[in-house]
Amino acid sequence: MAFHELRLEPQVSEIARLTDWVGACCGADGVADDTRFKITLALEEAVTNVIGNAFDGAPPPHLITVRLDIAAKSIVAHVIDNGRPFDPTAAPDPDLSLPLDEREPGGLGIHLMRGLMDRLQYRRDGGNNILQLQKMLD
């Protein structure tokens, strides 16, 4: 099993560094392109949500850490931040049957993560949000 860790600044410009890092880690560990794409997109959504929402009104320092555990049967990623508590697994599914102009803004990123990953779990520990994303490998 390979373990990787990346610390990010809470800035949108860090997303490119995140996606490059995930690609390099997955490539080095032989993860198939389709799975690499899914985990990269899910992590991009999760970290973008943290950057845009977690730190409003929270005192610095603002910390984001992404961990990847790549094993023979699965990839488990953790997004850890010290922002305001937020459990994305408790967010309701968006009503996709409504016309766009009648929908509440937001929620599609979480919906996308749920569709791309096999499991999402959340916990709050020691002032940190910890979102776990798991993708089973073929």
Nearest to 132 by CA among 73, 87, 96: 87
Is the bond preceding residue 60 a cis peptide, omega within 30 degrees?
no
Number of structural domains in the chain = 1
Alpha carbons 22 and 11: distance in angstroms, whole number: 17
Which CATH number do you get for residue 53? 3.30.565.10
Domain range holding 23?
Answer: 2-136
pLDDT in tens, the chain (138 residues): 799 999 999 999 999 999 999 999 999 999 999 999 999 999 999 999 999 999 998 889 999 999 999 999 999 999 999 999 999 999 877 667 677 777 666 667 788 899 999 999 999 999 999 999 999 997
pLDDT at 92: 76
- Judge contact between 14 and 51, C-beta under 8 A: yes
pLDDT at 105: 64
